[in-house]
């Protein structure tokens, strides 16, 4: 028995490890392309539903998709209303994993591990990345294969067979599903184990289906934890996810006999019946809510008042019709550059908040806003390339090159802010604290950088020689203060007045702040060089 328990625990751990690593790997591939999917997701709830399904199939985790959605809502990339369709889709997409278990992909898992591992070790950059993803995919299902091996001896135990197959109180199985899934943060584990037990003739549909319902509610724990540290719209999305699942569970339990009869009509295999129950449960939720998302969102807004800002994901001023007139087109770019500055100022404001109290939810918000800024840079550069194909006067040509350089500096400011936020995360995780003197120096420098960012943004709107001189003066002051702060930190370090681990993080933050100011000065220079 001890050996069986150890093997079962090992299988679950390997499944969780493989799923986590595969999800993280696919997120690195997928999030770079997520912007194009969001473009369609925010148009209609049906498109959002499809986006959620595709995302979960790729990431192999509805929890990972839901966390990603809540993060985007919290950062203002999509509205609470538009997130609802994507959440419903994520719940459909997660049913694929269980279906693969029914198709006995677990038996092919060693092949995936060997092939993926070989590509990972021997392949070049692209093939190595693909091999790593295949390896984790195989490891995920190999964990379930070990689970099958651990449970196979149970089919010879009459007491175990009696326990699993005799009809129990549905609420007991429902509670077990919630608790177990809440602990492991993955509904695929308990439901896949039920499928494996069914394949060995150990469990019946009557006992399995309530556990499936409970597992679907338990999987909302991850989203609720993320929503708790997110903005108001992120919390609404997390609570909506819970309400979707609870509504489905209430309907499913109330109509359990009918549900059981319908599933048995569709298949004679208990394993397939469990997978169908999982799919139909989530399909039921979609059928109930997909056409009621707008009134549901309005009801949630009334019950949980408060709205977060929603950032336009796409350029607001880059009008294709203006391309016929180069001067008008460049005016459109100028307005969009102003939006780019506003985005970086928003990121910097959130950074300043984290200087006082670090919050992981805020860090994600900064990353997502930076995501929008990066996309905006791409759109502006493409638009400027179209403008450059026309015959331009020397003045317009100079403006085009200046705008190209400015958007690059704006994007680099966003990158520097992200780097500082990551340093704050490291500082918090390592429990490092700056000395009072270092905090005072950092506060003064961050204040000056914020001031320079504001002036640089104003210069994009309107050229002003006096303000240009202010930017140059503040840049010199920041350089002097950064130099002084580094020297004073060395003195404090030698006198053991600050933790040794604080030094590298403090100095790196100063470097990134100085670079932000450098980019502000670049913007001022570009504007100053333009002829009136």
Please give the angle made by the CA atoms of 240, 245 and 251, to the nearest 5 degrees.
Answer: 125
What was the pLDDT predicted at 155? 66
CA distance 529 to 59: 48
**pTM for this predicted structure:** 0.74
Residue of 67, 74, 86, 38 whose CA lies nearest to 307: 74
| Strands (E) located in 242-399 | none
Angle between helices 62-75 and 45-59 (to 10 degrees): 130
By CB atoms closer than 10 A (0-12, 13-18, 19+), residue 437 is middle
CA distance 40 to 34: 10
In angstroms, how far is CA 323 from the centroid of its own chain?
35
Q: What does the pLDDT look like over 380-418, one tens digit per residue? A: 999 999 998 888 888 899 999 999 999 999 999 999 999
Element (H, E) at 97: helix 95-102
CA distance 348 to 364: 13
Domains contained in the chain, CATH given: 2-155+168-303 (no CATH), 320-529 (1.20.58.220)
What was the pLDDT predicted at 33? 56
Q: What does the pLDDT look like over 495-530, one tens digit per residue? A: 877 777 888 899 999 999 999 999 999 999 999 887
Query: What mean pLDDT, rounded, does the chain reach?
Result: 86
Q: What is the DSSP string of 474-523?
A: HHHHHHHHHHHHHHHHHHHHHTT-S-TTHHHHHHHHHHHHHHHHHHHHHH
Cα dihedral value 7, 13, 17, 20, nearest 10? 140
CA distance 86 to 48: 5
Q: 445 pLDDT band (50/70/90 cuts)?
A: very high
Q: What does the pLDDT look like over 93-137, one tens digit per residue? A: 889 888 988 988 888 899 999 999 999 988 777 788 889 889 998
**Bigger pLDDT: 61 or 100?**
100
CA distance 305 to 323: 42
CA distance 372 to 313: 6
Q: What does the pLDDT look like over 236-255, one tens digit per residue? A: 999 999 999 999 999 999 99
Q: What does the pLDDT look like over 272-302, one tens digit per residue? A: 999 999 999 999 999 999 989 999 999 988 8
CB count within 10 Å of CB 361 equals: 17
Of the listed ranges 163-167, 248-252, 411-415, 442-446, the least confidently predicted one is 163-167
Q: 218 pLDDT band (50/70/90 cuts)?
A: very high
125 conformational bin, left if phi > 0, alpha if psi -120 to 50, beta if neither = alpha
Q: 308 pLDDT band (50/70/90 cuts)?
A: low
In the chain, DSSP finds a helix count (H) and a strand count (E) of: 22, 0
CA distance 156 to 154: 5
Judge whether residue 70 has pLDDT over 90: no
């Amino acid at each position: 028995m001890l050996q069986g328990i150890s093997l079962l625990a090992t299988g679950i751990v390997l499944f969780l490890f493989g799923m986590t690593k595969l999800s993280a790997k696919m997120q690195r591939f997928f999030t770079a392309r997520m912007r194009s999917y969001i473009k369609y997701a925010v148009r209609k709830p049906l498109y959002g539903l499809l986006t959620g399904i595709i995302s979960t199939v790729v990431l192999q985790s509805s929890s990972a998709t839901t966390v990603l959605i809540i993060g985007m809502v919290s950062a203002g990339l999509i509205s609470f209303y538009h997130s609802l369709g994507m959440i419903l889709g994520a719940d459909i997409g997660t049913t694929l994993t269980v279906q693969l278990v029914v198709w006995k992909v677990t038996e092919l898992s060693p092949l995936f591990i060997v092939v993926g591992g070989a590509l990972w070790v021997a392949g070049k950059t692209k093939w190595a990345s693909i091999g790593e993803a295949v390896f984790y995919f195989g490891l995920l299902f190999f964990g379930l294969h070990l689970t099958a091996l651990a449970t196979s001896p149970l089919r010879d135990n009459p007491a175990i067979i009696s326990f699993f197959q005799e009809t129990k109180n549905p609420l007991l199985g429902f509670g077990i599903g919630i608790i177990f899934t809440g602990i492991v943060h993955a509904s695929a584990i308990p439901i896949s184990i039920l499928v494996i037990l069914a394949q060995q003739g150990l469990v019946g549909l009557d006992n399995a289906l309530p556990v499936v319902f409970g597992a679907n509610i338990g999987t909302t724990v991850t989203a609720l934890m993320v929503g708790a540290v997110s903005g108001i719209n992120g919390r609404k999305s997390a609570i909506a996810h819970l309400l979707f699942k609870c509504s489905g569970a209430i309907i499913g339990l109330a109509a359990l006999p009918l549900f059981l009869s319908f599933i048995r009509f569709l298949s004679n295999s208990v394993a397939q019946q469990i997978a169908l129950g999982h799919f139909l449960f989530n399909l039921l939720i979609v059928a109930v809510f997909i056409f009621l998302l707008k009134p549901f969102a309005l009801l949630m807004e009334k019950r949980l008042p408060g709205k977060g800002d929603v950032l336009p994901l796409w350029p607001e001023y880059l009008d294709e019709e203006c391309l016929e007139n180069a001067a008008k087109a460049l005016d459109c770019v100028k307005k969009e550059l102003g939006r780019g500055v506003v985005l970086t100022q928003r990121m910097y404001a959130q950074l300043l908040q984290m200087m006082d109290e670090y919050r992981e939810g805020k860090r994600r918000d900064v990353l997502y806003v930076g995501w929008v800024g990066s996309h905006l840079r791409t759109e502006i550069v493409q638009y400027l390339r179209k403008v450059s194909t026309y015959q331009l006067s020397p003045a317009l040509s100079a403006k085009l090159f200046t705008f190209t350089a400015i958007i690059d500096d704006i994007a680099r400011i966003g990158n520097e802010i992200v780097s500082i936020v990551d340093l704050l995360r490291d500082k918090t995780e390592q429990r490092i604290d700056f000395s009072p003197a270092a905090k005072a120096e950092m506060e003064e420098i961050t204040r000056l950088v914020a001031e320079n960012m504001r002036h640089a943004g104003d210069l994009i709107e309107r050229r002003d020689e006096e303000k240009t001189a202010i930017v140059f003066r503040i840049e010199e002051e920041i350089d002097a203060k950064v130099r002084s702060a580094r020297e004073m930190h060395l003195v404090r370090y030698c006198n053991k007045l600050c933790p040794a681990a604080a030094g590298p993080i403090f100095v790196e933050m100063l470097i990134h702040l100085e670079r932000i100011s450098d980019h502000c000065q670049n913007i001022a220079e570009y504007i100053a060089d333009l002829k009136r």
